[in-house]
Structure 1
Amino acid sequence: MLVHEIVNQFYSDILKKARERGLIIVTAIDVDALCATTILKTLLTIDQIPFSVYPVANRHEFEVYYNEKFENEESAIILCINHSADFDVLSTVMNDTVEFWIIDSHRPININNAYNAKQVKIVCKHKDVGEIPTYQEVFETESDEEKDSNDELDEGLEEDNDDENDYDNSAKAGEKRKGSNMGEKASKRSRMESHLEKNIRKKEWRAKRDQILMDYDEFSFFGTSVALLICELAIKLSKESNEILWLALIGLNSQYLESKIDRDSYMEGIAYLKGHVGRLNRECEETEPNLSISFSNELILPLLRHWNVYDSMYNSSTVAAAFCLYNHDGRNKLNGFLADLGLPVSQCQKSFVAMDLNAKENFENEFRVQLNRYQLEESDLFLPSFLASFKMHGKFSVLDFYYLINGSLYRDLKVNSEETDETLAHSFYAANNARNLLDFLTLKSTNLIKEAVPQGIELHSIIMETVRSFISKALVCGTSSFLYVSLPQDDKHIVLFQLPVTISCLARYTLEIYVRGLPSRNKRFRQLPLILRVPCLNSGDYYCGIPPYDDTSCKNVIHSAFDQASKVIGFEPLNKLFDRNMVLIRSEDRSKFLDTLATLLA
């Protein structure tokens, strides 16, 4: 069931039922989901609603959590944050009393979820739903008259058999009843023909239904950021704050950086939040709050304010793609660009905060001046965004916090590298619970930011180092159907690429840098998707599919190819992930899987 009224239909209902039955929040492990969960925790705490939070990395962990922790809580309310809208959530439970509320940006919405009014309620905006097939198009409905007619036909067929037996036992009685039987048989024959016609129409309807569902489920895409959606709830409840707006900005920004939404959708969200940011910060000008937010046109260079100019540019996917930084000529080109900016090597390699004041103030203006000369688009390197000024702790951009949160996740992944991937979500929850994400964002503890900055820098550097290694070693292979690259089994950083967020980043950066560095004769590769293989530490292989570089629709058809390939080969994925463009399969199925994909994507 779809719920569009977030206050009256969702939050009011949650408040009422949670006090009586308890509330369990099951959140996905991604930046948008964690920001949304933190906002919701703030609202529930204000309203004194008891709740518990469980992060899960995939559908398998969700099922494990349910069986271990929720199965006995038959009347509990389970709130899913950024997962479960696009698959049949009731297929994971065998309980008709549990009530699921879902706030998820994954699309399309599963048909069974959309039309289950008793146990499943999905909070979403009208514009994010798309054209869901009608109930009559996808679910069989048989009227009482049709049921009675079919029952009568079955009874008639049984009577025919009885009559034939009676006829064999008494030929004389059969001759007397011959006239009446002929009429009855003609009537029954007519009903049988009608029944057969109905069966034919039913088969045609089912074939049409299958085609409708196939067309509906062909592309996967994303709707409104869940952090932004819950921020809108806070605004409607008049409980907004700078901290809540900041979290919503981070969630929205993460969607754009991960290519889940296009620039127009991003700008729409920014325009909505900009008015509220301006209002709150005008009201707080005289009170000197711990956190103030201001609009800024930001350079899309990772952690620039907390790194140095050279390394930030060297590890920017856009700059790396423009200058081909995977070879010696590319690095020389970057050095030439920095020289044209008027920055000596000594300044470029200094921490940004330690640079000369004049060089730092003129950096962005000089950067804009040199863009055209190096055939760079301003929209590729500048993004309308926001800056946060934290009392006593300096300034941070929304982009910075995206990398810092991922860096915190990476730290837990590294610390627990000897554990199985099924325990990673548990270890992350313990770390997240200990730190308290809201404290991190408001910088109540300076130790949190000191730990997160180097971890964010290290994670991003490793991802970019791996991408450069792929391309410099010619590991990216082009076929007629897709581009393919495989992370070596003995890669020293393989433990970092066991969660969807790092796998997806690796695939996106590889595609962008590879195709933009190709000579003009190979431009056809810009029209091909990329398939990335990452060996799983336990068993099997992860496969991640990224749409073609020139496809700006933010819609992905790869999940359909993955699903069809699984059906053709006849195997069940080992571990179903929340992002449907990723799948974990057995290593022995690799050749069949790739051959089938090549056929399907041809």
Structure 2
Amino acid sequence: MDCINIKFDEDINFHLLRHWSLYDSIYYTQDMILSFKLWSSRGLSQLKEFLADLGIPKREYEQNYRDMNIKYKLNIKKQILDKRLQDKYHYTTNTIILPTFLLSSGFTLKLSPLDIVDSLMSTLQTVSSSSSSSNSNSNSMMIDLTARFSYALSCLNYHQLDDYLNGIELEKTYTKKTHYLIETLLQSDKNLSFDNTIPFILLKFDQNMFNSSTTTEHTTSCGFFTHPYQAYLFARNALQILISYTSSSTNIVKKKKSKHLQRLPLILIAPYSSSSSGEELVEIVVGVPALNNIMMNSFSTLFEAADHRCGNVAKFVFFDHSVLLLQEQHQQKFIDALMFVLAK
């Protein structure tokens, strides 16, 4: 009989740490991306310097965290709390050290609540081929996530770790794709629209957004933004990184842009379902408040007002009305209405 142990601990809050190498875990952690500015070569060099200051050899931080030498693993938390390193690398421990509970059974994998949530959310977000085909034969704009919900529930069963681990692999895929999209965003402004005449940042992706990506396993372009929470999370992270990127630039024009961007909300428009079989593309629209107003999301009201103005063309099918579905033909009409509502 398994003896399950649940204990309180101050965990290291690096993304999927127990399922990745220490390097990859830090590299894909949003707070560390912002702290180290990991979109730059200087930031990547600083990350390696940081790992060296933690006293961890390259061969250790590049292998799976579970396989690392125990003496290095035990020393990580102590080193991270070192005030000297905090001052040198400009991070705060409250974003890295997380009070939480950990579950373990014998020598098996430790489970953390954050990892379980990531596994669940990625499982919910992933549309199976059977769901996609059944959706293409229906008139509904919604992708049927009932089966995904049932499957996601199994991730909570400690005796079905395979489902949980599959969700973790999906989360890795989505994390890499998110990273790829944001890198693309920083390298080119083709997906972005913002100036003094528009009261928001408009971020648009099309069905070809992953054409150059090397991480195409598990999910298609149109399967990436099927879950409202994940779409919102992506938009918020993109906004944070975009502002940090422009503010840290040595280019005076970009620095001025940063101050302007901090006052603007972001609207994400991305494919929700494919436009196969002659059907029109359905897009997901997400509203994220300005960075200095991140706790007050009034887009539910704004989206409803904009939709009313353009003839109720949107579909509010999610619990959160700051995320909606829209047929591609109505995109410009809705954006124009939203600009009018925001300008009032």
Q: TM-score with structure 1 length normalisation?
A: 0.48
Supply the AA of the counterpart residue of 2:209: D
Q: What corresponds to 1:482 in structure 2?
A: 200
Is residue 531 of structure 1 aligned with residue 267 of structure 2? yes
Q: What corresponds to 1:505 in structure 2?
A: 233
| Inter-partner Cα distance in structure 2 for 1:567 and 1:593 | 10
Q: What corresponds to 2:164 in structure 1?
A: 449
Alpha-carbon displacement from aligned partner over 1:497-551 (angstroms, at most 9, x marks no partner): 1221321221121112111222253223222211111123253321101112222
Supply the AA of the counterpart residue of 1:518: T
More helix by share: 1
SS at the partner of 2:290?
coil
**Deviation for aligned residue 1:419:** 4.6
Supply the AA of the counterpart residue of 2:239: L
**Deviation for aligned residue 1:582:** 0.8
**Deviation for aligned residue 1:317:** 1.1
Candidates 60, 63, 69, aligned match of 1:356: 69
Q: What corresponds to 1:466 in structure 2?
A: 181
| Inter-partner Cα distance in structure 1 for 2:102 and 2:312 | 48
Q: What corresponds to 2:292 in structure 1?
A: 550
Q: What corresponds to 1:380 in structure 2?
A: 95
Query: Contact (CA 8 Å) 1:476, 1:483: kept in 2 or not?
Result: yes
SS at the partner of 1:479?
coil
Q: What corresponds to 1:395 in structure 2?
A: 110
Supply the AA of the counterpart residue of 2:16: L
Is residue 424 of structure 1 aligned with residue 137 of structure 2? no
Q: What corresponds to 1:564 in structure 2?
A: 305
| Inter-partner Cα distance in structure 2 for 1:337 and 1:413 | 40
Q: What corresponds to 2:244 in structure 1?
A: 516
**Deviation for aligned residue 1:414:** 6.3
Query: Contact (CA 8 Å) 2:284, 2:323: kept in 1 or not?
Result: yes
Supply the AA of the counterpart residue of 2:194: G
Distance 1:536 1:450, change over 3 A: closer
Q: What corresponds to 2:121 in structure 1?
A: 406
SS at the partner of 1:470?
helix
**Deviation for aligned residue 1:490:** 1.1
Q: What corresponds to 2:52 in structure 1?
A: 339
Alpha-carbon displacement from aligned partner over 1:249-268 (angstroms, at most 9, x marks no partner): xxxxxxxxxxxxxxxxxxxx
Supply the AA of the counterpart residue of 1:478: F
**Deviation for aligned residue 1:430:** 5.2
SS at the partner of 1:536?
strand
Q: TM-score with structure 2 length normalisation?
A: 0.80
| Inter-partner Cα distance in structure 2 for 1:564 and 1:443 | 45
**Deviation for aligned residue 1:290:** 3.6
Following TM superposition, the consecutive aligned residue runs of length 4 or more in structure 1 with deviations greater than 6 angstroms are: none
Consecutive unaligned residues in structure 1, runs of 5 or more: 1-287
Alpha-carbon displacement from aligned partner over 1:229-252 (angstroms, at most 9, x marks no partner): xxxxxxxxxxxxxxxxxxxxxxxx
SS at the partner of 2:246?
coil
Query: Contact (CA 8 Å) 2:12, 2:98: kept in 1 or not?
Result: yes
**Deviation for aligned residue 1:467:** 2.2
Query: Contact (CA 8 Å) 2:207, 2:271: kept in 1 or not?
Result: yes
**Deviation for aligned residue 1:479:** 3.3
Is residue 596 of structure 1 aligned with residue 337 of structure 2? yes
SS at the partner of 1:580?
coil
Query: Contact (CA 8 Å) 1:463, 1:505: kept in 2 or not?
Result: no
Distance 1:507 1:523, change over 3 A: same
**Deviation for aligned residue 1:580:** 0.9
Supply the AA of the counterpart residue of 1:570: G
Supply the AA of the counterpart residue of 2:332: S
SS at the partner of 2:292?
coil
Supply the AA of the counterpart residue of 1:588: Q
Which of the two has higher C-alpha Rg?
1
| Inter-partner Cα distance in structure 2 for 1:314 and 1:542 | 28
SS at the partner of 1:296?
strand
RMSD (CA atoms): 2.5
| Inter-partner Cα distance in structure 2 for 1:400 and 1:429 | 17
The size of the alignment, in residue pairs, is 309
Q: What corresponds to 1:496 in structure 2?
A: 224
Alpha-carbon displacement from aligned partner over 1:31-70 (angstroms, at most 9, x marks no partner): xxxxxxxxxxxxxxxxxxxxxxxxxxxxxxxxxxxxxxxx
| Inter-partner Cα distance in structure 1 for 2:132 and 2:181 | 18
| Inter-partner Cα distance in structure 2 for 1:461 and 1:396 | 22
| Inter-partner Cα distance in structure 2 for 1:412 and 1:540 | 15
**Deviation for aligned residue 1:567:** 1.7
| Inter-partner Cα distance in structure 2 for 1:601 and 1:390 | 53
**Deviation for aligned residue 1:444:** 1.4
**Deviation for aligned residue 1:346:** 1.5
Q: What corresponds to 1:82 in structure 2?
A: none
Query: Contact (CA 8 Å) 2:272, 2:284: kept in 1 or not?
Result: yes
| Inter-partner Cα distance in structure 2 for 1:311 and 1:573 | 39
Query: Contact (CA 8 Å) 1:310, 1:348: kept in 2 or not?
Result: yes
Query: Contact (CA 8 Å) 2:316, 2:323: kept in 1 or not?
Result: no
**Deviation for aligned residue 1:372:** 2.2
Q: What corresponds to 1:103 in structure 2?
A: none
**Deviation for aligned residue 1:387:** 1.2
Q: How does 1:171-186 map to 2 (within 5 A)?
A: none
Supply the AA of the counterpart residue of 1:548: A
**Deviation for aligned residue 1:295:** 1.6
**Deviation for aligned residue 1:412:** 4.6
Q: What corresponds to 1:299 in structure 2?
A: 12
Q: How does 1:258-269 map to 2 (within 5 A)?
A: none
Alpha-carbon displacement from aligned partner over 1:159-201 (angstroms, at most 9, x marks no partner): xxxxxxxxxxxxxxxxxxxxxxxxxxxxxxxxxxxxxxxxxxx
| Inter-partner Cα distance in structure 1 for 2:3 and 2:123 | 22
Supply the AA of the counterpart residue of 2:224: L
**Deviation for aligned residue 1:562:** 0.8
